[in-house]
C-alpha cells in the first residue's frame, strides 16, 4: 500500500511541476510579446533625429568594397600587363587606370592595312574600340564600388542591454531548481 502511495505522490509532484513550468514559460512568452523587438541595425538618414536606444556608427560595406576591388583588379591587371609586354607606340598609356584604355583607342584603331594579292585587309577598329570602352567602364564601376564600400555608410546601432531572469529547470538527474538565463 505504501508503494502505491509513493508512486501516486511522485506522479502528482511531477505533474504539478510540469504545470508550474508550463505556466512560467507562458507568462514569460506573454511578457516578451508585450515589448516590441527593435531591429539591431537600421540605415541612418543624415539630418534625422536618432531614435532613443540607438547610436550612429559608420560601417564599412565589405561586400561592396571586396567585390569592387576584385572587379577593378580583374580588368586593370590584364590591361597593365598588356602595357608592359606591348612594345607598340603609346601603349604605356594602358597603365593609367580607367582612362588608359580610352587614350589608347586612336593608336590601336588606325588602319595601316595595304591590300596585297592574297591577303584581305580586315578592319577590326570598331571591335577594338568597343573592347577598350568596355574595359574602361568596368574599371570605373569597380573603382566606384570599392570606394563606396570603403567609405561606408552611417548606421543606427541598437544599444544592447543585458537582460537576466530566473527560470525553473532541471538540476542534476533527479532534482529541480532554477536557472539564471542572461541575454546580451
In a domain, 164, yes or no: no
In a domain, 163, yes or no: no
Q: Give the structural domain span for 92.
A: 62-109+123-151
pTM beyond 0.75: no
93 and 15 together in one domain: no
In a domain, 134, yes or no: yes
26 and 67 together in one domain: no
How many domains does the structure of the chain reveal? Answer: 2
Report the b/e string of 77-100 with b at 16+ CB within 10 A. Answer: eebeebbeeeeeeebebbebbbeb
Q: pLDDT in tens for each of the 184 residues of the chain?
A: 444 445 555 666 777 676 766 666 655 554 454 556 677 888 888 888 888 888 899 999 999 999 999 999 999 998 888 877 776 665 677 788 999 888 888 877 776 666 665 666 777 778 888 988 999 999 999 999 999 999 999 988 888 777 788 888 887 777 788 887 877 6
In a domain, 49, yes or no: no
Amino acid at each position: 500500500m505504501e508503494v502505491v502511495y509513493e508512486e501516486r505522490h511522485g506522479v502528482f509532484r511531477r505533474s504539478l511541476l510540469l504545470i508550474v513550468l508550463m505556466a512560467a514559460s507562458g507568462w514569460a512568452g506573454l511578457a516578451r510579446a508585450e515589448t516590441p523587438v527593435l531591429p539591431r541595425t537600421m540605415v541612418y538618414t543624415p539630418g534625422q533625429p536618432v531614435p532613443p536606444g540607438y547610436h550612429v556608427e559608420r560601417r564599412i560595406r565589405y561586400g561592396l568594397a571586396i567585390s569592387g576591388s576584385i572587379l577593378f583588379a580583374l580588368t586593370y591587371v590584364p590591361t597593365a600587363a598588356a602595357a608592359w609586354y606591348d612594345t607598340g607606340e603609346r601603349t604605356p598609356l594602358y597603365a593609367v587606370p580607367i582612362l588608359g584604355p580610352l587614350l589608347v583607342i586612336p593608336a590601336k584603331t588606325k588602319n595601316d592595312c595595304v591590300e596585297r594579292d592574297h591577303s584581305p585587309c580586315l578592319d577590326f577598329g570598331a571591335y577594338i574600340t568597343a573592347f577598350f570602352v568596355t574595359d574602361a567602364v568596368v574599371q570605373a564601376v569597380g573603382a566606384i564600388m570599392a570606394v563606396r564600400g570603403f567609405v561606408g555608410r552611417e548606421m543606427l546601432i541598437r544599444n544592447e542591454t543585458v537582460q537576466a531572469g530566473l527560470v525553473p529547470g532541471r538540476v542534476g538527474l533527479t532534482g529541480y531548481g532554477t536557472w539564471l538565463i542572461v541575454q546580451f
